[in-house]
């Protein structure tokens, strides 16, 4: 199978804190990883596409300086929410795929709550 | 207009019922189509791909009508464990290659005794 692990699964922290979320492909090399966000009762929205060794491509309306993405290896991508505020509270999910036309495999998500 | 539209439900059905979900998409360049299942507060999981010829996987049947830009999912003999949110997902190639997934907001199904 293709397993994607995401850590941590739950974060509760104070406003102004920076939070790092890790996404790992455990049994395959992921050329591309994706970061999504899902607010309650809404669809998953793609935030950015991350290719190993290059800068992430951000979707319109997503601040790249606010959501820092690092894809340093073929098995790890990180998303850092800098100076998080209550409006950043959401369910963040990553996915990974082996190649361009391969299916995406999802991590189990990180529920972020900013107080 | 949303790129992928679904009836949010909820659909409350008795165990054993047949239930159908519909989805429409707006981008005619869309190439691949999927149904995902998402349980409460969990990540989405691929249920099945959808093909123009229609495809069946056990109690689940998916249909695609490219001319109408319409996708459906039929669940027969529904079980309590089918209770979840069903996401219609469409894939299209963005500039630069690969495939970009666009998710519908999902249709909630509650199967009751």
Summarised one tens digit per residue, pLDDT across range A56-115 is: 999 999 999 999 999 889 999 999 999 999 999 999 999 998 887 778 889 999 999 999
State the number of CA atoms in the 13 A half-sphere of B54 facing the CB: 7
Closest partner residue to B43 (CB to CB) among A32, A45, A106 is A106
Please give the residue that has the higher pLDDT: either B1 or A59. Answer: A59
CB A18, CB A83: distance < 8 Å: yes
Distance separating alpha carbons of residues B6 and B79, to the nearest angstrom: 22
Please give the residue that has the higher pLDDT: either A94 or A1. Answer: A94
CB A37, CB A58: distance < 8 Å: no
Distance separating alpha carbons of residues A104 and B43, to the nearest angstrom: 12
A53 pLDDT tier (thresholds 50, 70, 90): confident
CA distance A71 to chain B (A): 17
If interface means Cβ-Cβ distance under 8 Å, which residues of chain B face chain A?
4, 8, 41-46, 87, 96-106
Lowest-confidence pick of A12-26, A27-41, A63-77, A93-107: A93-107
The structure tokens listed for A107 are 């991590």
**β-pair partners for A46:** A36
**β-pair partners for A25:** A4
| pLDDT of amino acid B94 | 62
CB pairs < 8 Å spanning A and B: 42
Distance of CA A93 to the CA centre of its chain: 5
- Supply the DSSP symbol for A42: S
Test A43 with B104 for CB contact under 8 angstroms.
yes
pLDDT above 90: residue B6? yes
pLDDT above 90: residue A6? yes
Distance separating alpha carbons of residues B90 and B24, to the nearest angstrom: 10
pLDDT above 80: residue B1? no
pLDDT digits (tens, 9 = 90+) for B42-98: 899 989 999 888 899 999 999 999 999 999 999 999 999 999 999 999 987 765 556
CA distance B17 to chain A (A): 25
């Amino acid at each position: 199978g293709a397993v994607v692990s995401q850590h941590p699964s739950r974060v509760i922290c104070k406003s102004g804190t920076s939070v790092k979320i890790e996404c790992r492909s455990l049994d395959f090399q992921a050329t591309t990883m994706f970061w999504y966000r899902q607010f309650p009762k809404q669809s998953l929205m793609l935030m950015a596409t991350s290719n190993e060794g290059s800068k992430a491509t951000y979707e319109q309306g997503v601040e790249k300086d606010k959501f820092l993405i690092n894809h340093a290896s073929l098995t790890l991508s990180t998303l850092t929410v800098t100076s998080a505020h209550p409006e950043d509270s959401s369910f963040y999910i990553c996915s990974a795929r082996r190649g361009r036309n391969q299916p995406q495999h999802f991590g189990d998500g990180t529920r972020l709550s900013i107080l | 207009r949303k790129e992928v539209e679904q009836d949010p439900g909820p659909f409350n059905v008795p165990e054993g019922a047949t239930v159908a979900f519909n989805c429409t998409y707006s981008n005619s360049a869309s190439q691949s189509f999927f149904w995902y299942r998402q349980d409460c507060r969990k990540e989405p999981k691929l249920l099945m791909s959808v093909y123009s010829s229609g495809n069946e996987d056990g109690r689940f049947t998916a249909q695609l009508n490219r001319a109408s830009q319409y996708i459906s999912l039929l669940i027969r003999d529904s079980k309590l464990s089918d209770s979840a949110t069903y996401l219609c997902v469409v894939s299209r190639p963005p500039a630069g290659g690969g495939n970009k997934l666009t998710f519908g907001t999902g249709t909630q199904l509650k199967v009751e005794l």
